[in-house]
Structure 1
Amino acid sequence: MIISIESVYIFTGIITFLSSIYTFFDRKNPRRLTTGLFYFIYAITLMCAKVIPPFYIGILVLVIVAIAGFGGVRTGSYGEASSEERNHNRGRLKSWLFLPALLIPLVTVGGVEGLNDLKIAGKFLLDPSNITMVALGLAAVVALVVAMLMTKSSPLTSVKESRRLIEAIGWAAVLPQMLAMLGTIFDSAGVGNVVAKAVDHVIPAHSLFWAVFAYCVGMALFTMIMGNAFAAFPVMTAGIALPLIIGHFGVQADKVAAIGMFAGYCGTLMTPMAANFNIVPAALLDLKDKNYVIRTQFPTAIILLGVNIVLMYLVARF
Structure 2
Amino acid sequence: MLSIEHFYLLLAAFVLYAGWRNLCERRYAHAAFWSVLAVLFAAGKPILDASEAGNALPSQIAGGAVIALALLATRMRREHIAETPEALRLASAERLGHRLFWPALLIPVATVLVVLFGERIAFGGTRLFGEGSITLIGLALACVLATGLAVWITRERPSVALGEGRRLLDTMGWAALLPLVLATLGGVFAASGVGDAVASIVSALIPADSRLACVIAYGLGMVVFTMIMGNAFAAFPVMTAGIGLPLLIQQHGAAPAILGSIGMLTGYCGTLMTPMAANFNLVPAALLELDDPNAVIRTQLPTAIPLLLVNLALMYWLAFP
Query: What's the TM-score, normalizing by structure 1?
Result: 0.86
- When residues 118 and 279 of structure 1 are mapped into structure 2, their CA distance, relative to the original with a 3 A threshold, is farther
Cα drift, residue 253 of structure 1: 4.0
- Kept in 1, the 8 Å contact 2:108–2:139? The answer is yes
Q: Give the whole-Å Cα distance in 2 for the aligned partners of 1:109 and 1:250.
A: 30
- Return the match for 1:173 from 172, 176, 192: 176
1:34 aligns with 2:1: no
Q: Give the whole-Å Cα distance in 1 for the aligned partners of 2:256 and 2:150.
A: 45
1:207 aligns with 2:206: no
Q: Give the whole-Å Cα distance in 2 for the aligned partners of 1:216 and 1:121.
A: 48
- Return the match for 1:230 from 229, 233, 236: 233
Partner of 1:192: 195
Partner of 1:100: 103
Identity value in percent: 45
- When residues 118 and 40 of structure 1 are mapped into structure 2, their CA distance, relative to the original with a 3 A threshold, is same
- When residues 285 and 250 of structure 1 are mapped into structure 2, their CA distance, relative to the original with a 3 A threshold, is same
Partner of 1:3: 2
Can you give the 5+ residue segments of structure 2 that lack an aligned partner in the other structure? 48-57
Partner SS state of residue 271, structure 1? coil
Can you give the 5+ residue segments of structure 1 that lack an aligned partner in the other structure? none
Mean CA deviation greater in 227-236 or 86-95: 86-95
Partner of 2:299: 296
Mean CA deviation greater in 265-274 or 277-286: 277-286
- When residues 84 and 173 of structure 1 are mapped into structure 2, their CA distance, relative to the original with a 3 A threshold, is same
Cα drift, residue 109 of structure 1: 2.9
Q: Give the whole-Å Cα distance in 2 for the aligned partners of 1:152 and 1:252.
A: 49
User: Residue type matched to 2:41 in 1?
Assistant: L
Cα drift, residue 18 of structure 1: 0.7
- When residues 285 and 111 of structure 1 are mapped into structure 2, their CA distance, relative to the original with a 3 A threshold, is farther
- Kept in 2, the 8 Å contact 1:100–1:147? The answer is yes
1:268 aligns with 2:271: yes
1:67 aligns with 2:62: no
- Kept in 2, the 8 Å contact 1:256–1:312? The answer is yes
Partner SS state of residue 120, structure 2? coil
RMSD (Å) for aligned C-alpha atoms: 2.6
Partner of 1:56: 61
- Kept in 2, the 8 Å contact 1:172–1:279? The answer is no
- Kept in 1, the 8 Å contact 2:4–2:131? The answer is no
Q: Give the whole-Å Cα distance in 2 for the aligned partners of 1:287 and 1:126.
A: 44
Q: Give the whole-Å Cα distance in 1 for the aligned partners of 2:252 and 2:84.
A: 62
1:109 aligns with 2:112: yes
User: Residue type matched to 1:10 in 2?
Assistant: L
Partner of 2:17: 18
Partner of 2:53: none
Q: Give the whole-Å Cα distance in 1 for the aligned partners of 2:143 and 2:208.
A: 50
Q: Give the whole-Å Cα distance in 1 for the aligned partners of 2:33 and 2:65.
A: 10
Q: Give the whole-Å Cα distance in 1 for the aligned partners of 2:268 and 2:109.
A: 24
Q: Give the whole-Å Cα distance in 1 for the aligned partners of 2:129 and 2:289.
A: 36
- Return the match for 1:155 from 158, 164, 173: 158
Q: How does 1:250-289 map to 2 (within 5 A)?
A: 250-289=253-292
Cα drift, residue 165 of structure 1: 0.5
Cα drift, residue 198 of structure 1: 1.3
Q: Give the whole-Å Cα distance in 2 for the aligned partners of 1:302 and 1:219.
A: 13
Partner of 2:51: none
- Return the match for 1:81 from 77, 80, 84: 84
Partner of 1:132: 135
Mean CA deviation greater in 79-88 or 208-217: 79-88
Q: Give the whole-Å Cα distance in 2 for the aligned partners of 1:309 and 1:236.
A: 15
Q: Give the whole-Å Cα distance in 1 for the aligned partners of 2:320 and 2:80.
A: 59
Cα drift, residue 273 of structure 1: 3.3
- Kept in 1, the 8 Å contact 2:182–2:231? The answer is yes
